[in-house]
Amino acid sequence: MATKNLSEYNLEAVPDASNMIFGIVVAEWNPEITGALLDGCVSTLERHGALPENIHVKTVPGSFELIYGAHQMTLNDGYDAVIILGSVIRGETPHFDYICQGVTAGIARLNATSSIPVIYGLLTTNDLQQAKDRAGGRLGNKGDECAVVAIKMAKF
């Protein structure tokens, strides 16, 4: 359970993003959720000065493919940060565990080996309502949080 609203943050603590370029890789799986995450992420980047033409969005079929998409974006020297957005909802098989662990390990590896930050925006929830709560619902939007983290890490 999230202990705070994912969309609440100190506005003054976020650097100006007007000279930054962001790559966003978003999974097509669970589009109601990932679309909301993307909307939150883009609007927050723009709220902090990022120009629409400096926000590049690519889609991949599912959450596991976020690793490949993010890696390809890290190879482009033009990005200040890359953000991954996806949603994995627990089902009846261990597939959930394998995907969540694989994506987490893959993004951690990219962060350890890449020269730019890769921001982890994968929702891993037990049910659809939990995902909705974190994609613009009662707990805010993880996409907002990822945008703020990307801006801060790009200035690190």
CA atoms within 13 A on the CB side of 137: 12
Active-site residue flag, 48: no
**One of 48, 56, 71, 95 is an active-site residue; which one?**
95
List, in order, residues 6 or more apart from 126 with CB less than 8 Å away. Answer: 89, 90
CB 135 within 8 A of CB 4: no
Q: Show the DSSP H helices in 12-122 as ranges.
A: 31-47, 66-74, 95-113
Active site residues: 95
